[in-house]
Amino acid sequence: MSSRFLSLTIAAGIAVMAAGCGARSPARPSSVAAEPPAPIAVAGVSPAVGSTSGSTPVKIAGSGFQTGAIVTIDGLTIPAAVANDRATIRFRTPPHPAGVVELIVTNPDGGEAKLAGAYVYVPPASFDFDGEWAGAAADLDLRFTVQDGALVSVSCGASGPIAFLPAPAINEGAFSIVAADGTGISARIVSASDAVGTINLAPCRSMNWTAKRLT
């Protein structure tokens, strides 16, 4: 073997060794413990009293609610919407006999919060209906006035107050009237402060609405 060939072989071996010494093993990802989900808790329900006919819009305040959480009232599962802050759930009550019920919120991960006696169903005749109510029908201002157990007047948008004759009486928390020209309104009082219904009165044509009591 010539001295030149030997020196080339030694040089190649040194280069390989140097490359091996300079190589680094791939970094291992650091293990970070996943933050546990916030515990679920129910702080309150509003309103806490509603009609046995159902449809009362209810808000649950608390913490730790997860998207997909369900609400159960006396064994009845109810569709619900969880706010982005995970501190509020909204739903509408189903019909139910009069009485006090337990409310349960259950997260998809199995977390559960109970609130005994959280909601009370009462007959709609239990509410005091007299007063003015205001709400929305497709972002148009809706107002109606109830007095002495009957609908006194109603307005929507720029329609101005309209009185129906004879004034429709409230029966078990509900009233409904349709004039010969198709103008009309129907309503159900679903809690001491909430009402729901439909209206067909220009410019509110065939619209659903919800209303809050003002007085």
Nearest Cα residue to 70 out of 52, 91, 87? 91
Model pTM score = 0.75
The CATH number of the domain covering residues in 41-122:
2.60.40.10
- Asked if 56 and 120 count as a contact pair (C-beta separation under 8 A), the reply is no
Band of the pLDDT at 38, cuts 50, 70, 90? Answer: confident
Q: What is the reported pLDDT for 134?
A: 96
Taking residues 156-176, report their average pLDDT: 92
DSSP 3-state of 99: strand
Task: Count other C-beta atoms under 10 Å from residue 178's C-beta.
Answer: 13
> Tens digits of per-residue pLDDT, 108-120?
999 999 988 999 9
* One-letter amino acid for residue 106 of the chain: T
Per-domain boundaries in the chain: 41-122, 126-213
On the question of pLDDT at 93 being above 80, the answer is: yes
Q: 16 vs 121, which has greater pLDDT? A: 121
Which stretch of 4-8, 94-98, 120-124, 173-177 has the lowest confidence by average pLDDT?
4-8
C-alpha to C-alpha distance for 155 and 199, rounded to whole angstroms: 10
On the question of pLDDT at 6 being above 60, the answer is: no
C-alpha to C-alpha distance for 173 and 190, rounded to whole angstroms: 8
DSSP H or E segment with residue 6 = helix 3-22
